[in-house]
Amino acid sequence: MSVLSLGDLGSILGCHSTVPVPGRDLLVINSEAIEEGSGDGLNYAYVVDIANSEAPRVISSLPLPTPSKGLPYARYYDKGGRFGPHNQHHYQGNRAHLAARNHVFMTYFNAGLRLYDISDPLQPTEVGWFVPEDPRERRGTLPSVLVTQFEDVLVDARGYAYCTDKNHGLFVLRYAGASD
């Protein structure tokens, strides 16, 4: 008999982030890609119903990012560097941060920033993304190949998304989405 380990459900971290959705009985949880390429098991990003706090349950998963047509790779696993979820926008009840009830902002390493609509938490959809051209200059030791590696995202109440990348530095993007 085979037993699943934490490494079978993503990286060895098990769970990287657990973020409550403001005003809803939902959490968005995700693992973190650790290995480059397809070294990890499939990393996850789930929506969890916590209406019954004694029995939380996974109700859906966020769609896996796919590259735009015309790129020289068919899957982000093939691009190089780390691919998988890393960090979400954390509202934390701070009035200076966007309180997104229907959208999840998540960094996905070589797949950049992803935006998911969870207005129907049983059927999340990807509604936007930003993946810059790969950096031309190395500013850090990782990843082993010079590709985009989005780490963190924070969205202020005005809709500006601040994203960090290992070699690019800081990107400031404007979220022009529907009112959350």
pLDDT in tens, 61-73: 999 999 999 999 9
Query: 123 lies in a domain?
Result: yes
Q: Which domain holds residue 144?
A: 6-174
* pLDDT number for residue 55: 94
Domain count, the chain: 1
Mean pLDDT of the chain: 91
CA distances to 29, 83, 113, 126, 155 from 134, in Å: 28, 14, 14, 22, 23
Asked if residue 52 has pLDDT above 90, the reply is: yes
Per-residue pLDDT reduced to its tens digit, 66-114: 999 999 999 999 999 999 999 999 999 999 999 999 999 999 999 999 9
Query: 180 lies in a domain?
Result: no
CATH, residue 153:
2.130.10.10
Asked if residue 17 has pLDDT above 60, the reply is: yes
Q: What is the pTM of this model?
A: 0.91
* pLDDT number for residue 6: 47
* pLDDT number for residue 4: 45
Q: Round to whole Å and give the CA distance between 177 and 180.
A: 8
Contacts of 131 (CB under 8 A, 6+ apart): 68, 110, 111, 112, 113, 148
